[in-house]
Chain A
Amino acid sequence: MTNRLAWPVIALAALVLLNQVFRPDFLSLRMQDGHLYGSIIDIMRNGAPTILIALGMTLVIATRGIDLSVGAVVAIAGAASCAYIAASPEPASPVTAGMAVLIAVLAGLLLGVWNGFLVSTVGVQPIIATLVLMTAGRGIAQLITGGQIVSVSNDHYKSIGAGYLFTLPISILITAAVFVLAAVLTRRTALGTLIEAVGINPVASRLAGLRSRNIIWIVYVFSAVCAALAGLMISSNVTAADANNAGLYIEMDAILAVVIGGTSLAGGRYTLAGTVVGAFIIQTLTTTVYTLGIPPEVTLVFKALVVITVCLLQAPKARNLLRSLKAAPQPGTKEKVAI
């Protein structure tokens, strides 16, 4: 196991242990009505949208970019699909649900192409290019829903976020599928290396004959499509589209998951597995707050402290400080361990 995954895994293990100590049934799973139930399943199910978005965000960050618009894309995707179902002549049919999913994914594709166009072709800084959609996106989502919360009743649509397949929640399966797809595409083909090359040095990779423009375009489209899928999950879980609050601050959670997972915001090397661990840390943290009986209002304070701690642990300067403290009594031992 590489060094960069060690810290996040330790942090997650510590959190799980803490929960286990305070609530002995934390790790237990039970079958009920053919579904698996338990805190772990809950964490995975509630964390699915964040994980999905964080996966897309990882690739974007690996190219030295950032995608602030994912929360807005979540809102637009949910609004578009729910508005379609609500307006269709057969709001309960599976075909309508399928079309709604298609519309949401297409919307994500389109918004991703837009972000990618601004970043790769026009050359706007990613943080600003996606800020445009972040600001305007919620307005567009409200435009689609007419400022109302559009609720739908379509069992097929509902199953995306709240349904079960093979005893597991479907949202977990979708997220796992996207993870495997992204991992295979980027690690079994050259794509992953190309993405890292663009992130480490855009100019050099372009001079080396790499079509960095297309690579950048691909990661933004992937990120937006992931966000659209997450939007489907969130809206189908509550069978309604809330243009104002769906996916609010989810971009922050996703970015935190990526950073906690060990991918540097400076671009370059990335780890999808680390991101998933990071997202689990964030979701488990929320659960821990309830387990420990801390009032839920404090969640954000708690989150802030954990984020700062993890970031400090990962900062090269803090690590060097720790290392020099450790190495001081027995110089030379640290290097042997590291190799």
Chain B
Amino acid sequence: MSSLSTLTPLTVKEPSPLRSRMRGGARYAPTLATLGLFIAMFAVGAGMYPSFLSGQVFLNLFIDNTFLIVLAVGMTFVILTGGIDLSVGAVVALSMMVSATLLQQGWNPAAVIFLVLVIGAGLGLLMGLIIQYFDIQPFIVTLAGMFLARGLCYVISLDSIPVTDGFFTSVAQAQIPLPGDLFVSPGVLLALGIVAAAFFILHHTRFGRTVYAIGGNEHSAMLMGLPVTRTKILVYALSGLCSAVAGVLFSFYSLSGYSLAAQGMELDAIAAVVIGGTLLTGGTGYVLGSVVGVLVLGIVQTFIAYDGTLSSWWTKIVIGGLLLVFILLQRLFARKTA
């Protein structure tokens, strides 16, 4: 039967308007499901604890997760091309160590931040080059990158280094007031700015379209004449840069550098991206979805903190469970749209 259908051309291929609308809806469905889940969780929280329903609780989700939002943005780009970056957590720790050490030696904060960003982007670029030119799986290369970055942390110092620099402490303590007695940290504005930039790059530039095209079908993208090689390398450089920014944000947040910091953060970033509706096979997903994914992870932690009786390990179990639910949802949608 299927061989016959290839002989009957075109007439059935034109999808009805209704069908294409459904298909468009299904594309957003995983992300919308995440958003729905977030709203539902917030509503349940508000029902259980009266103090939960406040603007500041919502804003704290951003304040406490600025670095994770930035990481998830970088990870979204990588995963959209069908790759993965396991080095992000280690690069965050390395960025923190480098900035803490250099600040201790009296470097200018601006120079420190610039250097950290260069190191992060450079590491990412290096990994991208190896992945692309030697055709080695991203998984293995970024794993080696993770070992390298984490190892360099240990080389710098095994102890926690406090950050006492005036600029860093003032940023850490700064609060930007919002109407209604609310406030956010400067880091939140930076993170949201990065999200906006990523959204623009992904949806309104050639680079972004190439990212989606590579994830959809790398071979076709190459045959279409898109700059596949350059884009794939740049995606890892971008992820490295995002990790470095996240490291700086984490330094603002924790005011220290510690070589064991941000352990397992790559898993949180990947989980946020998946929960946000990005397919790990690449080609489908939204950077805004990843942000909602981070917020869902954040609200799980807030819940457990509010409850007080639940132990911290429930966070991991709940995140694992959420991952499972969203993977199954994705399978369901993938089957419907296929």
> Which A positions have Cβ atoms within 8 angstroms of B?
66, 118, 122-125, 127-129, 131-140, 142-143, 147, 243, 252, 255-256, 259, 265-266, 295, 297-305, 307-308, 311-312, 315-318
Q: How far, in Å, is A111 (CB) from chain B's closest CB?
A: 12
Q: Which residues of B contact A252 (CB under 8 A)?
A: 143, 146-147
Q: How far, in Å, is B214 (CB) from chain A's closest CB?
A: 17
- B331 CB contact (under 8 Å) in A122, A139, A142, A303: A122
Known: A304-B145, A311-B144, A316-B135. Contact between A131 and B151, CB under 8 A? Answer: no
- By the criterion CB–CB under 8 Å, are B155 and A298 in contact? yes
Residue of A nearest to B139 (CB): A265
- By the criterion CB–CB under 8 Å, are A307 and B316 in contact? no
- By the criterion CB–CB under 8 Å, are B151 and A304 in contact? yes
Q: Which residues of B contact A128 (CB under 8 A)?
A: 274, 280, 323, 327
Stretch at the interface among B36-44, B65-73, B307-315: B307-315
Measured in the bound complex, the distance between the Cα atoms of B148 and A118 in whole Å is: 33
Known: A136-B317, A317-B133. Contact between A131 and B147, CB under 8 A? Answer: no
Measured in the bound complex, the distance between the Cα atoms of B137 and A308 in whole Å is: 11
Residue of B nearest to A69 (CB): B320
Measured in the bound complex, the distance between the Cα atoms of B311 and A259 in whole Å is: 38
Q: Which residues of A contact B136 (CB under 8 A)?
A: 311-312, 315
Measured in the bound complex, the distance between the Cα atoms of B137 and A66 in whole Å is: 13
- By the criterion CB–CB under 8 Å, are B320 and A255 in contact? no
Measured in the bound complex, the distance between the Cα atoms of B280 and A140 in whole Å is: 25
Measured in the bound complex, the distance between the Cα atoms of B316 and A147 in whole Å is: 13
Residue of B nearest to A311 (CB): B136
Residue of B nearest to A308 (CB): B144
Contact with A along B64-93 (1 / 0, CB 8 A): 000000000000000000001000000000
- By the criterion CB–CB under 8 Å, are A122 and B137 in contact? no
- By the criterion CB–CB under 8 Å, are A304 and B147 in contact? yes
Q: How far, in Å, is A289 (CB) from chain B's closest CB?
A: 11
Q: Identify which of A135, A147, A301 gathers the most chain B CB atoms within 10 Å of its CB.
A: A135
Q: Which residues of B contact A303 (CB under 8 A)?
A: 147, 151
- By the criterion CB–CB under 8 Å, are B144 and A304 in contact? yes
- B151 CB contact (under 8 Å) in A127, A133, A147, A300: A300
B294 interfacial by beta-carbon distance below 8 Å? no
- By the criterion CB–CB under 8 Å, are A301 and B152 in contact? yes
B183 interfacial by beta-carbon distance below 8 Å? no
- By the criterion CB–CB under 8 Å, are B321 and A136 in contact? yes
Q: How far, in Å, is A87 (CB) from chain B's closest CB?
A: 19
Q: Which residues of B contact A132 (CB under 8 A)?
A: 320, 323-324, 327
Measured in the bound complex, the distance between the Cα atoms of B206 and A98 in whole Å is: 63
Q: Which residues of B contact A297 (CB under 8 A)?
A: 151, 154-155, 158
Q: Which residues of A contact B135 (CB under 8 A)?
A: 315-317
- By the criterion CB–CB under 8 Å, are B320 and A256 in contact? no
> Which range holds the interface residue count of chain B?
35 or more
Q: Which residues of B contact A125 (CB under 8 A)?
A: 280-281
Measured in the bound complex, the distance between the Cα atoms of B134 and A256 in whole Å is: 17
- By the criterion CB–CB under 8 Å, are A301 and B311 in contact? no
Q: Which residues of B contact A300 (CB under 8 A)?
A: 147-148, 150-151, 154
Measured in the bound complex, the distance between the Cα atoms of B154 and A133 in whole Å is: 29
Measured in the bound complex, the distance between the Cα atoms of B130 and A311 in whole Å is: 10
Q: Which residues of B contact A299 (CB under 8 A)?
A: 151
Measured in the bound complex, the distance between the Cα atoms of B151 and A20 in whole Å is: 26
- By the criterion CB–CB under 8 Å, are A302 and B323 in contact? no
Q: How far, in Å, is A244 (CB) from chain B's closest CB?
A: 9
Q: Which residues of B contact A259 (CB under 8 A)?
A: 140
Q: Which residues of A contact B152 (CB under 8 A)?
A: 301
- By the criterion CB–CB under 8 Å, are A143 and B331 in contact? no
- By the criterion CB–CB under 8 Å, are B148 and A304 in contact? yes
Q: Which residues of A contact B313 (CB under 8 A)?
A: 138-139, 142-143, 147, 243
Q: Which residues of A contact B148 (CB under 8 A)?
A: 300-301, 304-305
Q: Which residues of B contact A137 (CB under 8 A)?
A: 320
Q: Which residues of B contact A134 (CB under 8 A)?
A: 267
16 contacts between A and B (CB under 8 A): A128-B323, A131-B267, A136-B319, A136-B320, A139-B315, A140-B317, A143-B314, A243-B313, A256-B140, A298-B151, A299-B151, A300-B151, A301-B148, A312-B130, A315-B136, A317-B134
Known: A147-B313, A297-B151, A307-B144. Contact between A127 and B84, CB under 8 A? Answer: yes
B270 interfacial by beta-carbon distance below 8 Å? yes
Measured in the bound complex, the distance between the Cα atoms of B324 and A132 in whole Å is: 6
Q: Which residues of A contact B154 (CB under 8 A)?
A: 297-298, 300-301
Q: How far, in Å, is A226 (CB) from chain B's closest CB?
A: 20
- A307 CB contact (under 8 Å) in B140, B281, B311, B328: B140
Measured in the bound complex, the distance between the Cα atoms of B51 and A280 in whole Å is: 56
Q: How far, in Å, is B158 (CB) from chain A's closest CB?
A: 6
Residue of B nearest to A147 (CB): B311
